[in-house]
Amino acid sequence: MVATFEPKTDYKVVGTRPIRHDGYDKVTGRAVYGADMKLPGLIWAVCVRSPHAHAKIKSIDTSAAEASTGVFAVITGSDMPKAQSKLVDLGEGNINFKWASNKLMADDKVLYKGHPVAAVAAADRYAAEEAARKVVVEYEVLPSVTNVVDALAEDAPILLDDLVGDDLGKDVNNTNMAAHERHEFGDVEGAMKTAAHTIEREYNMQMVHQGYIEPHNATATWDEENRVKVWTSTQGAFTARTQIAGILQIPISSVKVTPLEIGGGFGGKIPVYFEPLAALLSKKSGRPVKMVMERTAVFETTGPTPGARMIIKLGADANGKLVAATADIWFEAGANPGAFIDPAAQCVYAPYEIPNTRIDGWDVLVNKPKVAPYRAPGSPQVAFAMETAVDELCEQAGWDSMQFRIDNASKEGTRRGDGVLFSKIGMQEVLEAATASDHWNSPVGEAPAGKKRGRGIANGYWFNIGLKSSANLSLNSDGTVQLTEGSTDIGGSRTSMAMHVAEVLGIGAHDVRPTVGDTESIGYTDVTGGSRTTYATGYACWIAANNLVEELKKRVAILWDIDENDVDFNDGVFSSKSEQKKTISFKDLAGKLEDLGGPANSTGSVDLESAGDGFGMHIADVEIDLKTGKTDIVRYTTIHDVGTAIHPSYVEGQMQGGAVQGIGWALNEEYFMTDEGSMANSSFLDYRMPTSLDLPKIETVIVEVPNPLHPYGVRGVGETPICPPIPAIANAIKDAVGVRLYKTPMNAGSIVDALK
C-alpha cells in the first residue's frame, strides 16, 4: 500500500529561501571538488586516445612511454578485468559491465574517436601527457557510421560483433540495432482514417552534450588489502561503486566511493569514465592516481544525448480533438546500446489525451560516444517533434494552438503513450497559469527595421522517478541536528533535505547541518537524477525526522514519568496530551538527553516505485534578423507544476537553467561530425553554449499541484524545463518569419536557407 498525503499550506520552513548550507564554502573557493583532491604521493594519469572513429587495434607498443621520465605505470585494454555481460539498473539507464568496461578502454577495436587505448601515470600531469605521446598504436581503420540511417543500412559496418538485437522480441544477429520496441493502444489506423485533419512530418536532431563546466575526474588508491578508494565528482556514489566494482570484477564491499563536490552533471556524471582506470593504475604503481579529463575528450568521449530521427503523425477530429497519433523514433545510442527509447515513449504524447496511439522506438549503435542521460533523456527530442507537429496541425486547421492544448490536455486518468494511467497531475493548471501570465497577455512588440518578432509556445513533460534513498539524523545537545544523506548535491539539494527535517522538528533550516555521505557512512541511495532527489531523499529525511520525534517522545516520557503514548509533538514543542501545562521545547529537551538515555539518532529510508509527473509550458519571444538569420531570445517565460516548491529559489534555478540548456540546443549546439566520424567542434568555442549576453532574464511561474505521494507534495523539477524550449523556439521562428524548421540546431544558416 503506497502512502498518500493531504496537501498542506501552513508550512514554517518549506517554501522559504534560506541561504544554502554549502554556499559559504562555494563562494570562497574552499569547497573541495573532484579535481581539488590531494593525497600524499599523488601522481597523475592521462589517456592515450584513438584518432579514428572505428578501427581494429593491430598493436600497441608502450615501451617508450614506460621508459619516459617520471612514468610509474601504463595500462592498456589487456589490463582490464574481463567483465561479464550483465545488465544493471543505474536509476536513469542501465549498464552492461562488459560494454561499460570496453567503453572506458578499448579491447581489440576502437568504436568512437577518442576511445581510450592506453593510460599513462606519471609524476605530474605534464610528464604523463608527454609520455602518453610516446605510446605507439597501429590501427586498421574501418568504415564508420554516424547516423541511424547509415547504421541500419544493409551493408553497414557492424560495431559490436557479439550484439544480439531485440526486434520486438525476436533475436537479430549482425546488426547495429540493439532494440526495437512498440507500444500500441486502440485502433490507430481506423481512428486515423476518421480524422478530419492529419499531419505527418519527419524531424532530425544532432547529438548534444550536457556541457557541465567541470571536466570528469577521479582520484583512486588500490591498497594492500585490495580495497579501492575513489574520490570523484559523481551524481551517485553508490551507482559509481556498482560500476567500479563491476568493471574491476571485485565485490562492492571492496570499493569505497567518496563523492566530492560536483561541478555539474545533468545526467552525464552518472556513468564512470576514469574511476576504474585510476584504480588499476594505482594498483600497478602503488600510488594514489588522479585523472582530470581534457575538454576535447569530455565532448568526444562522454555524455551526449541521442541524436534522433523521428516521424510523427497526428490526427484530429473536426472539433479539434486528437483522435490518433503514431511516432517512429530512431535514437543514436553511440557505441554501446542504451539510447533512451523507453523514456521517449513515456513522454512523447504525455501532455495530450489521445485515445489511439502507436509508438515504435529503435535503439541504434553508431560510431560516436555512448550516450549518457541528459536532463529528461529522450523527452526534449520527442517534444520537438510532437509540439511542432501540434502547432502545424493547428495552423492547417485554423485552430488556436493554446486552446488546442487546453482542449486536449491530459488529466488524472489519461493513458500515457506507454500505457501508464496518470494519477493527480497538473497539466491543466499549468495551461491556466500560462494563459494568465503577464508574458502571454503582453504583445510580442515591434522589431527594429530588418528584423521580425514572433512568439511560440510548447508543453514539456518528464515523469520523475522515485527509487532508493537513505538519511541519518543525530541530535546535538544544543538542539541542532546533524543530517547525513546519500544524494550528491548538484544544485542546492542539501538545503532542501535540511528543510524537510527542520519542518518536521519545528526548528530552523540552519539548525540542521546536512552532509552528503560516502558509501560507508550512509545507506544506499540512488543517483541525483531523474528529478528524484528532493522527492525521494527528501522523503527519507522526513521519515528520519519523524523517527527522531518518536525516539524523543520516549525520552520525554522518561523525563515526565508518563506513558510514551501520552506525549504529543507540535511545532517544535513536546507536550503531555493528558496534562496540557507540561511542555518542553525540542531545543530544551536536546540539552537534557544526557540524563534521558544519551544520544538520540534516527534513520529513514525509502524505495519509491513511482513519483509525481512534471508538466510545464514555455513561452518564447524571438527576434530574427531577416538577412543574417540571427535569432535573439527577447522574452522567455517558464511555467511548471513542481508539486510543492521546498526552496523556491532553487526551483526557479532549475526552471531557468533547463530552459537555457534547451535554448542552446534549439539554436546552436550540435555534434558537428566530419565524414571521418570525428566531432569537428569539440571545444566550448565552437560548441557554442549560450553566454550571459545571449539571453534575457528568464521569467518563472511556479505552479503547485501537490503530489499526493510525498509528505509535502514534491514532484521534482530538474528535468521537465529542458523539454519545451526547442519546440517553443521552433514555433516562435515560424510565427516570426513564416518558415518551419524540422532539424536542430535551428541556426542562422538554416533560417536563411529556409527563407530563400
Partner 1 sequence: MTTSSPSKVHVTTTINGQEHELLVPPYMSLLDTLRELIGLTGTKEGCLDGNCGACTVSVNGRIVDSCLVLGPEVDGKTVDTVEGMATTDGLHPLQQAFLEEAALQCGICTPGFLVAAKGLLDNEPSPSEGRIRHWLAGNLCRCTGYDKIVRAVQKASS
Partner 2 sequence: MHPFAYVAPSTVEEAVAVLDEHGDRARPLAGGTDLLVKARANVWELDAVVDVKNIPELMNLEVGKNGLSIGAGVPCYQVYENDQVADEYPGIIDGTSIIGGIQIQSRAGLGGNLCNAAPSGDGIPALIAHSAVARIAGPNGTREVAVEEFCTGPSRTVIEPGELLVSIEVPKPAANSGAAYTRFIPRNEMDIAVAGVGVYVVLDNSGNNFESARIALASVGPIPILANEAGDSLSGKPVNDETIAAAAKLARNAASPITDMRGTIEQRKHLIEVLTDRMIKQAVERAKG
Alpha carbon separation from 555 to 112, 477, 548, 565, 696 (Å, rounded): 62, 14, 11, 12, 55
Our finding on whether 678 is near partner 2 (CB under 8 A) is: no
Q: Which residue of 164, 168, 558, 680 would you call a contact of partner 2, by CB under 8 A?
A: 680
Question: Binds 554, which of partner 1, partner 2, none (CB < 5 to 8 A, cut-off by type)?
Answer: none
Taking the complex as a whole, the smallest distance from the CB of residue 94 to partner 2 amounts, in Å, to 33
Cell numbers 528532493: residue: 534
Report the residue number, 93 or 491, with the smaller CB distance to partner 1: 491
Name the segment binding partner 1 (CB under 8 A); options: 45-53, 277-285, 567-575, 647-655. Answer: 647-655
Q: With binding defined as CB under 8 A, does residue 294 bind partner 1?
A: yes
CA angle 486, 487, 492 (to 5 degrees): 135
CA atoms of 99 and 102, how far apart (whole Å) = 5
For residue 53, the 8-state DSSP code is S
85 binds partner 2 (CB under 8 A): no
Binding to partner 1 by residue 215, rule CB under 8 A?
A: yes
Query: What is each CA distance from 421 to 187, 351, 411, in whole angstroms?
Result: 18, 12, 9
Question: Which positions ≥6 away from 719 have C-beta within 8 Å?
Answer: 375, 376, 379, 462, 464, 530, 531, 614, 658
- For 425, the grid coordinates are 497531475
- Residue 36 sits in the site that holds partner 2 (CB under 8 A): no
- Taking CB under 8 A as the binding criterion, the range among 145-153, 255-263, 678-686, 722-730 that sits at the site for partner 2 is 678-686
In the bound state with partner 2, the residue whose beta carbon lies nearer, of 5 and 672, is 672
Applying CB under 8 A, does 210 fall inside the site for partner 1? yes
700 and 655 Cβ atoms separated by less than 8 Å: yes
Q: How far apart are CA 657 and CA 618, in angstroms?
A: 13
Which one of residues 12, 56, 125, 321 is an interface residue with partner 1 (CB under 8 A)?
A: 125
Per CB under 8 A, which region of 247-255, 266-274, 411-419, 623-631 contacts partner 2? Answer: 623-631
Name the amino acid, one letter, at 252.
Answer: I
Could you tell me the three cell numbers for 381?
Answer: 527530442
Q: Residue 492: left (phi > 0), alpha (psi -120 to 50), or beta? A: left
Select from 440-448, 451-459, 622-630, 729-737 the region that touches partner 2 (CB under 8 A): 622-630
Give the DSSP per-residue string, 294-340: -HHHHHHHS-PBPPEEEEEEEEE-TTS-EEEEEEEEEEEEESSS---
Q: Quick one: 22 or 342, whose CB is closer to partner 1?
A: 22
CA-based nearest residue to 499, from 15, 23, 25: 15
Residue 441 or 692: the one with the smaller Cβ distance to partner 2 is 692
Q: Decide if 553 contacts 567 (C-beta within 8 A).
A: yes
Query: According to CB under 8 A, which residues from 656 to 685 bind partner 1?
Result: 656-661, 683-685
Contact between 667 and partner 2 per CB under 8 A: yes
Which of 143, 190, 599, 749 binds partner 2 (CB under 8 A)? It is 749
Binding-site size for partner 2 (CB under 8 A) equals 25
R_g (Cα) of the chain, nearest Å: 27
> Least CB distance from residue 167 to partner 1, whole Å?
38
Query: Cβ of residue 133: shortest distance to partner 2, in angstroms?
Result: 7
Tell me the one-letter amino acid at 37. M
**By C-beta, is 127 or 475 nearer to partner 2?**
127
Tell the residue number behind the cell numbers 604523463, with chain if given. Answer: 128
Only segment of 2-10, 60-68, 369-377, 686-694 that touches partner 2 (CB under 8 A):
686-694
Beta bridge partner(s), residue 48:
118
Find which of partner 1, partner 2, none residue 748 binds, CB within 5 to 8 Å per kind: partner 2
Single out the residue of 694, 708, 739, 740 in contact with partner 2 (rule: CB under 8 A).
Answer: 694
Burial of residue 123 (CB within 10 Å: 0-12, 13-18, 19+) is middle
Q: Which of 112, 203, 212, 384 binds partner 1 (CB under 8 A)?
A: 212
Structural element, H or E, at residue 440: none
695 in contact with partner 1 (CB under 8 A): yes
CB of 632 to partner 1, least distance (A): 12
Q: Kindly list the residues in this chain that would bind partner 1 in the complex (CB under 8 A).
A: 17, 19-20, 22-24, 26-33, 35-36, 38, 124-126, 210-215, 261-266, 292, 294-295, 490-492, 649-650, 652-653, 656-661, 683-685, 689-693, 695, 697-698
Q: Which residues bind partner 2 (CB under 8 A)?
A: 126, 129-130, 133, 627-628, 630, 632, 667-668, 672, 680-681, 685-686, 688, 690-691, 693-694, 747-749, 752-753
